[in-house]
Structure 1
Amino acid sequence: KETVGNSRIWEVHLTLTDTNDPELAALTCRIREELCGSTPLQRLGHLMITVGDFNQAEEICNRLLENICSDDDRIHIYHQLGLLSAGQDQYTDAATFYEKSLEIKQKTLPEDHLSLATSYNNLGGVYQKKGEYLKAHEFYEKALHIKMKTVDANDLACATSYNNIGSVYYDMADYSKTIELYNKALQIFETHLPRNHPS
């Protein structure tokens, strides 16, 4: 929580967990891997989005945007602003931020770079939320295409794509395709994630 009278100082209470619990250790490790950012402030912004503190996350992202000069950092902050907007159901704004991130990536990265798949995936999610299922499907397929070229077919990244494409088929009432893709995703998730993972 913020300390009284100073919005730049936070009081954090830590609780010791059982270090001998292998499932908890695996979950903690996975959450650390999922928080991205090249600086502690970027990781804090991502954490604030994850826990739903959107006002704090937006403040952090805007402060970071004012002070960045590298394309990598700009990509990351636009991505976080997209996550932030999507988390608040502001899908048009989210698409705008994701597109800005994607534009920089397309100028600076090879066309089959895994980071492009992340942008396509995020855009797919936004368009799915907006009810634009064909456009969502197109972006999800682009993401899967890159993933299939860059990682093993049984990688978690592919499972996420199968799951996302399956959810679009569900929204379009094509339940046989939905089941097929969800089963593919589930097989991969069960292989790689601890039983107590939220996915």
Structure 2
Amino acid sequence: MGEYSEALSLHQKALEIRDKILPANHQDLAQSFNNIGAVYYQTQQYPRALSYYEKVLDIFLKPLPANHPSLATGYNNVGGAHDIMGEYSNARSFYETVLEIDKKSLPSNHPDLAASYNNLALVHENMNEFIQALSYYERAPEIFQRNLSANHPDLTSIYNNIAKLYDKMREHATVVT
């Protein structure tokens, strides 16, 4: 934990300096906010992380075009904070925005696109929307297979997620009947 508190202290010092010398919408301020948010996220202080990730988005939304990859990263971080706090509807909304940006700004076989499908699948799974989750999960391996080796950890992770989803679907069907 000591490394995190030292990292947080240094990121906060950097932010103080940047805040004094840079305009309010400067990208370096966004970087400082993101770094601080990441430390809070890693230390499971998710509401604080969310607050800093939202500041990043506030800065990025002004100068960047709507389909800029940095916006996708910002939306993804905000979505991830909502997701881990169990705010699945909010997470889904941010992840959907990430997917739309990725579709417009990345090639159809880009690994980030597969990660977006996986994130949406996970949040739908957490909301017990299993059919929708499966439809997103099934898109991710298609992309990864074009870019990664057959035994790459990202690909095996997706297959595990799909298998777990099938288990949940079977359990849910048993409870319903």
Whole-angstrom CA distance in 1 between matches of 2:79 and 2:132: 18
| Residue type at the aligned position of 1:60 | L
The two structures, once aligned, show a CA RMSD in angstroms of: 2.2
Separation in structure 2 between the aligned mates of residue 132 and residue 126 of structure 1, nearest angstrom:
9
Paired residue type of 1:65: L
- 2:75 and 2:109 mapped to 1: Cα distance? 20
Residue of structure 1 in register with 2:87 after alignment: 132
The partner residue of 2:13 within 63, 81, 85 is 63
* Structure 1 letter corresponding to 2:136: L
- Kindly provide the amino acid, as one letter, of the partner of residue 55 in structure 1: S
What is the TM-score with the length of structure 2 in the denominator? Answer: 0.75
1:147 aligns with one of 102, 118, 123: 102
Q: Which runs of 5+ in 2 are unaligned?
A: 158-177
Structure 2 CA distance, aligned partners of 1:135 and 1:161? 15
Q: CA deviation at 1:139?
A: 0.4
Offset of residue 135 of structure 1: 0.8
Runs of 5+ consecutive residues of structure 1 not aligned to the other structure: 1-51
* Alpha-carbon distance in 2 for matches of 1:58, 1:197: 30
After TM superposition, give the deviation of residue 171 of structure 1 in Å: 0.3
| Structure that is richer in helix per residue | 2
In the superposition, the TM-score normalised over structure 1's length comes to: 0.68
Structure 1 position 177, deviation (Å): 2.1
Count, aligned residues: 149
- Which amino acid is the alignment partner of residue 110 of structure 1? P
Amino acid at match of 1:61: H
Deviation sequence 1:107-156 (CA, Å, 0-9, x none): 12112211111111111111111111111100000111111111112211
Q: Which shows bigger deviation, 186-195 or 170-179?
A: 186-195
The separation in 2 between residues aligned to 1:179 and 1:136, in whole angstroms, is 17
Aligned residues of 2:69 and 2:102 also touching (Cα < 8 A): yes
- Once the 2 structures are TM-superposed, how far is the Cα of residue 183 of structure 1 from its aligned partner? 2.3
C-alpha distance in structure 1 between counterparts of 2:148 and 2:104, whole Å: 22
What is the percent sequence identity of the aligned residues? 34
Give, in angstroms, the shift of residue 196 of structure 1. 5.0
Paired residue secondary structure (2:144): helix
**For 1:74-109, what per-residue CA distance to the aligned partner results, in whole angstroms no more than 9, with x for missing partners?**
111111111111111211111110111111111121
By how many angstroms is 1:197 displaced? 4.8
